Amino acid sequence: MRHARAYGIAGLTALGVVAAVAFAQSTTVPLPEEAPVEASPLGETAVADLAEADWGDPQNGATLAGTCAACHGLDGKATVREVYPSIAGQSERYIARQLALFKSGERVSPIMQPFAAPLSAQQMRDLGAHYAMQEAGAGVADDTVVASGPYEGMKFFEIGQQLFRSGDAERQIPACMACHGPTGAGNPGPPYPHVGGQSSWYSARRLQEFREGTTGESDTRLFDIMHEVAQDLTDEEIQALASYMEGLHTRPDARMREMMAQLDTGAAPAPAAGQGEADIQTQDGGTVVIEEGQDAAGAVAAPDASDPAGPRTGSEQAEGEAEAGTEGDRTGDPSQQ
């Protein structure tokens, strides 16, 4: 009996301990609240970081460009013009800023963002410096005659040419060349991009984005400029403008073309400046010829045989370059260049 009583007391004690443990485990004690963790997006300061970077190193940029070569080419000329934009001749600041926008997510591209994400601000400047030193290429402008509509009878690229050079005062659309230059080379300061020779599909897509006015950029000053310009453009005008810019490229001036033609035919080049005559390239593409003993004030500007920044057109490509003997018969019509 004595042992049975001891076993009973021990069993009751164990049961009490088990019950206490079970009660303790079922009781929830709240932890003190802490401030939620704020996750900063990768590359949030990517654009601002560019201001702290040094001028780009083109040699290091050339090394980094190996990653870009599959699409944009080592020389910045797109490997497939119908798929990728060309970036040869683009300004350092513009390329670096676009890479920073991709990295920060302010400009969305499933293709570009993974490539931009690991780049530092200095590497972006280096890449920009490399591509800025490459020679820009050019495509072909569409010279099909418009069959109907407000521009009936004009060649398609001429619609874009009119807007690029003169704008539209009635609709308060400024001339594109005011910012991007007569050859479409851009302005590296603001930075306004190089648009001459760019694939028309890419230029048209960007103009459509500007027209819509929707952007993820935190600093919208540059975007807003283009939105003001593009908001009243029609689809036809956007496509024509993009076509004109694709064919736009820098041409040698009249004097240089004459010298090139003489070299091709084996004739002696004309006397150099200071040996009987000199010339001064004018802003409108003409050439002022100064005879010996005559000053520039008394010289008469002779119009250039062709525009120094005209677009290549489809018919021009099909017919080939004009023979050297017909250079003097060319007019200002870019389709004849």
Does the pLDDT of residue 122 top 50, yes or no?
A: yes
CATH topology of domain 46-132: Cytochrome Bc1 Complex; Chain D, domain 2 (1.10.760)
- Confidence at residue 292, expressed as pLDDT on a 0 to 100 scale: 37
- Confidence at residue 261, expressed as pLDDT on a 0 to 100 scale: 82
Three-class DSSP category at 133? coil
In the chain, what is the greatest distance between 2 CA atoms, to the nearest angstrom? 144
- Picking from 283, 275, 198, the residue whose alpha carbon sits closest to that of residue 241 is 198
Pair 142, 156: CB distance under 8 Å = yes
- Confidence at residue 117, expressed as pLDDT on a 0 to 100 scale: 97
Amino acid at site 288: V
* Token representation of residue 76: 């910045």
Average pLDDT of the chain to the nearest whole number: 79
Per-residue pLDDT reduced to its tens digit, 189-221: 999 999 999 999 999 999 999 999 999 999 999
Q: What is the DSSP string of 39-101?
A: PPPTTTTHHHHGGGSPSP-HHHHHHHGGGTHHHH-TTS--SSTTTS---TT--HHHHHHHHHH
**How many other C-beta atoms can be found within 10 angstroms of the C-beta atom of residue 51?**
7
Per-residue pLDDT reduced to its tens digit, 132-191: 999 999 899 999 999 999 999 999 999 999 999 999 999 999 999 999 999 999 999 999
* Token representation of residue 39: 């996750």
What residues contact 126, with CB distance under 8 A and at least 6 apart? 56, 57, 58, 60, 61, 64
* Token representation of residue 56: 């780009």
Domain-wise residue ranges, the chain: 46-132, 156-247, 254-336
* Token representation of residue 2: 């004595």
Q: Residues 71-84: what's their mean pLDDT?
A: 96
Does the pLDDT of residue 280 top 70, yes or no?
A: no
In this prediction, residue 230 has a pLDDT band, given cuts at 50, 70 and 90, of very high
Class of domain 156-247: mainly alpha
156-247 has the same fold as 46-132:
yes
> In this structure, are strands 277-281 and 301-302 parallel, antiparallel, or unpaired?
unpaired
- Confidence at residue 4, expressed as pLDDT on a 0 to 100 scale: 55
In this prediction, residue 250 has a pLDDT band, given cuts at 50, 70 and 90, of confident
In this prediction, residue 28 has a pLDDT band, given cuts at 50, 70 and 90, of low
Q: Residues 90-102: what's their mean pLDDT?
A: 97
B/e letters for 119-140, b = 16+ CB within 10 Å, e = fewer, are bebbbbbbbbbbbbbbebbbbb
The continuous run of DSSP H or E covering 301 comes out as: strand 301-302
Per-residue pLDDT reduced to its tens digit, 299-332: 333 334 345 456 767 666 655 544 433 333 333 3
Does the pLDDT of residue 263 top 50, yes or no?
A: yes
Q: What percent of the chain has pLDDT over 90?
A: 59
Higher-confidence residue: 82 or 333?
Answer: 82
Higher-confidence residue: 35 or 325?
Answer: 35
User: Phi and psi for 51 in degrees, rounded to 5?
Assistant: -65, -25
